[in-house]
Structure 1
Amino acid sequence: MQEMVDMICKELILRKNYLPSKNPIKTIYFGGGTPSLLSLAQMDQILEVIAKHYSLALKEMTLEANPDDLQPSKLLELKALGFDRLSIGIQSFDEQILKFYNRAHNAKESMHAIALAKQAGFQKLSVDLIYGFPSPDHQIWKKDLEIALGQDPGHISSYCLTVEPKTALGNWTKKGVFQPASEDFAAEQFEILQDTMDQSGYIQYEISNFAREEAFALHNTNYWKAIPYLGIGPSAHSFDGQDRGSNRAHNAHYIKNLQQNQPVFEVDSMIPMDLLNEYILTSIRTIWGTDLAYITERFDLDLLKENQKILKKLTEEGLVENLKNHLVLTRRGKLLADSIAASLFIS
């Protein structure tokens, strides 16, 4: 683990000029895998390198963590390091589903972790939940939401269970051991999620993210608004405002390359239309929508004119609306976000 931390620090130094120099760093996010397994000394080592080599104007520091990692002493130390938001990977409060997901924690530990985080002074908490698990009805999902909201986290991120090839779940599905829920069942659970969050005063500020107005996650919001970011470590992605790229995914190769002063980051050059389409894809998922004036200024293109027919159809079907020159998905439209975005792409 220490060898990896040392190489992460080395990459931070090597890529210190990646982001536009005029913009200081406003958010730091320790995520991917289980960063809460790092020792406090290792986290401090990384943060010291960032502070030394980067211009900072921090507004938020987030750590992804599992409930079983959040002990009282560690929470206080994390707070002392400067972390002010925790993203807790709970996934479900149902014991059988947690066992299926091979999670190390149980429902009681999840609730206890949230309580401990609050006691340690964390006012920004995000709870992760997964919907779409195949069940006879929606009672388990409704109970998950009830328990989550009962903990009063202020922010809930919820994603649909997906079956990826070359994973254990993918293999079980291929062998017929696991039968995924139907698209209609998952869509019904998404609508239950929307209804429940709305009734509880949580705003759906992005397709999968719900929060009270003062509790939106700043780091992810920057991503959806196409603000440049630097990703460090194996598999990390970066965007400098013009081009996107990613690091090597293999841990051993990542470490070896850096030890030998070989590059680990590969650039995916993007033409203007790639940038435009990606902006449409991410921005339309948010409460702020796709800024038509920004597109005209940045890409010299009138999106309304280019997509006149499809936008007329989407509007008539009640899927999209134009609010103050921003294309925003309606409640129904949020069920079809990706396909709607794809229909607006410019080729």
Structure 2
Amino acid sequence: MAGIYIHVPFCTQRCIYCDFYSQTDMARQADYLRAVRRELEMRADELDGEPVETIYFGGGTPSQLRGEDLGAIVRTIGRHYSLANHCEVTLEANPDDLTDAYLRDLFANVIIDRISLGVQSFSDADLRFLNRRHDAAGAIEAVRRLQDAGVKDISIDLIYGLPGQTPEAWVRNLDVAFGLGVTHLSAYHLTYEAGTRLGRMLQRGDVCPVDEDTSVSLYSLLTERAAAAGFVHYEVSNFCRPGWFARHNTAYWTGAKYLGIGPSAHSYDGQSRRWNVASLGRYIEGMEIRQPQYEREVLDGDMRYNEYIMTRLRTMWGVRLSVIREVWGECRVAHFLRQAAPFLAAGRLVRLSENDTVRLTEAAFFVSDGIISELFV
């Protein structure tokens, strides 16, 4: 299987925490759309005829594009790629973009199977701090509109660990989210990235991050409330109702090929990574003369091993020793088990005999980065 990711870099305003490539100038939307269609045409051979199982519009704010524009991109994919039956098409959206008129236009022009809604919080104070456009009532109304329009697969993004956030406030957020009848929740701890407005606020001392104990407590509440709501914890930050996994993101974590289309978009073919230039102007210029601007990194065996460990251990499916044996040999299996031994003994990793899999225990998900790094070569 393979996936296609389309990066839509347009936002009406920037959130203080976001370090994804985006811009607020909409003047070159038409040029961008032509460039995306051309890149799709030029790179059609890269998937070697593998059927495209997922299409994902991410950003930025993809809901800044009209339904007609999104439909033209999907039709271009259909002309140049083999689409699998039941191909999943996901659109990231901002709640206040999803008016009744926008949804009518969207569904008249393109089939969208899944909406990923950037809610981030159901607290108006949090939303103002994060510089989000919508308010809590608008986020709830957006979910209701999608449900009334017949969208069954709705995901909500939330952020926790905001300065001063209490466990009680986080529980209120979770109770609203799980009470809306959505199928999927992604919840991420707030990070202070260099170059963002939030990062600069931290440097000036204008904000104080939550301490580690609070972070652990908030994550524990997240996993407990998700389990109580019947959600499966299938990746460090992702939860869903049984059977409603995000297929596109799951493909990332299980090593599937994917094309990244648009400025700053990343691609992976199993042997190398490629990323487009993070500049709308340079991206468009390159596409106009059919000379795409990008960088590429070829992955050696050790790098691919580390990537396998990192992505698989973030999921409930874990690392399969049979895969390590087949791809990297028996010596690498011995290395992995030797490095994993302290974590197995401490109950942070568990080995499942039925399919010879090693995975993180639920309690270890929050500290997964530290464990995973110890297993690298």
Q: Answer yes or no: same fold by TM over 0.5.
A: yes
1:30-65 Cα deviation digits (max 9, x unpaired): 012001100112111111111111111143110000
Specify which of 361, 364, 367 is matched with residue 330 of structure 1: 361
Counterpart of 1:62 in structure 2 is 90
RMSD over aligned Cα atoms = 1.3
1:18 maps onto 2:49 in alignment: no
Kindly state the Cα deviation for residue 301 of structure 1 after the two structures are TM-superposed. 4.1
Identify the range of structure 1 (48-57 vs 297-306) with the bigger mean alpha-carbon deviation: 297-306
Kindly state the Cα deviation for residue 86 of structure 1 after the two structures are TM-superposed. 0.2
Counterpart of 1:7 in structure 2 is 35
Take 1:154 and 1:132, find their aligned partners in 2: how far apart are those partners? 23
The gaps in structure 1 that reach 5 residues or longer are none
Sequence identity (%): 38
Specify which of 227, 233, 248 is matched with residue 262 of structure 2: 233
Specify which of 153, 166, 170 is matched with residue 124 of structure 1: 153
Take 1:94 and 1:59, find their aligned partners in 2: how far apart are those partners? 35
Identify the range of structure 1 (293-302 vs 191-200) with the bigger mean alpha-carbon deviation: 293-302
Identify the range of structure 1 (252-261 vs 277-286) with the bigger mean alpha-carbon deviation: 252-261
Take 2:38 and 2:370, find their aligned partners in 1: how far apart are those partners? 40
Asked if the contact 2:184/2:238 (under 8 Å) is kept, the reply is yes
Asked if the contact 1:201/1:212 (under 8 Å) is kept, the reply is yes
Take 1:156 and 1:15, find their aligned partners in 2: how far apart are those partners? 33
Take 1:41 and 1:212, find their aligned partners in 2: how far apart are those partners? 31
Take 1:302 and 1:223, find their aligned partners in 2: how far apart are those partners? 26
Kindly state the Cα deviation for residue 79 of structure 1 after the two structures are TM-superposed. 3.5
SS of residue paired to 2:44: coil
Take 2:104 and 2:331, find their aligned partners in 1: how far apart are those partners? 51
Counterpart of 1:258 in structure 2 is 287
Kindly state the Cα deviation for residue 179 of structure 1 after the two structures are TM-superposed. 1.1
Give the counterpart letter for 1:2 in structure 2.
Answer: A
Asked if the contact 2:67/2:107 (under 8 Å) is kept, the reply is no
Kindly state the Cα deviation for residue 184 of structure 1 after the two structures are TM-superposed. 2.2
1:125-173 Cα deviation digits (max 9, x unpaired): 0000001012263111110001111111111000000001111111111
Asked if the contact 1:229/1:239 (under 8 Å) is kept, the reply is yes
SS of residue paired to 1:229: strand
Give the counterpart letter for 1:64 in structure 2.
Answer: E
Take 2:303 and 2:57, find their aligned partners in 1: how far apart are those partners? 28
What TM-score does the superposition give when structure 1 sets the normalisation length? 0.96
Take 1:83 and 1:136, find their aligned partners in 2: how far apart are those partners? 35
1:46 maps onto 2:73 in alignment: yes
Specify which of 179, 189, 209 is matched with residue 160 of structure 1: 189
Asked if the contact 2:66/2:106 (under 8 Å) is kept, the reply is no
1:221 maps onto 2:250 in alignment: yes
Specify which of 100, 106, 128 is matched with residue 78 of structure 1: 106
Kindly state the Cα deviation for residue 317 of structure 1 after the two structures are TM-superposed. 0.7
1:244 maps onto 2:259 in alignment: no
What TM-score does the superposition give when structure 2 sets the normalisation length? 0.89
1:103-135 Cα deviation digits (max 9, x unpaired): 110000000000000111100000000010122
Take 1:65 and 1:317, find their aligned partners in 2: how far apart are those partners? 42
Kindly state the Cα deviation for residue 303 of structure 1 after the two structures are TM-superposed. 4.1
Report the CA distance shift for 1:336/1:319 in structure 2 as closer, same or farther (over 3 A): same
Task: Spell out the pairing of 1:95-114 with structure 2 (5 A cutoff).
Answer: 95-114=124-143
Identify the range of structure 1 (301-310 vs 7-16) with the bigger mean alpha-carbon deviation: 301-310
Report the CA distance shift for 1:302/1:122 in structure 2 as closer, same or farther (over 3 A): farther
Kindly state the Cα deviation for residue 302 of structure 1 after the two structures are TM-superposed. 4.7
Specify which of 172, 194, 202 is matched with residue 173 of structure 1: 202
Take 1:56 and 1:78, find their aligned partners in 2: how far apart are those partners? 20
1:180-201 Cα deviation digits (max 9, x unpaired): 1122211211111011101111
Report the CA distance shift for 1:193/1:136 in structure 2 as closer, same or farther (over 3 A): closer
Identify the range of structure 1 (176-185 vs 275-284) with the bigger mean alpha-carbon deviation: 176-185
Number of residue pairs matched by the alignment = 345
Counterpart of 2:215 in structure 1 is 186
SS of residue paired to 1:87: strand
Counterpart of 2:54 in structure 1 is 27
Report the CA distance shift for 1:136/1:211 in structure 2 as closer, same or farther (over 3 A): closer
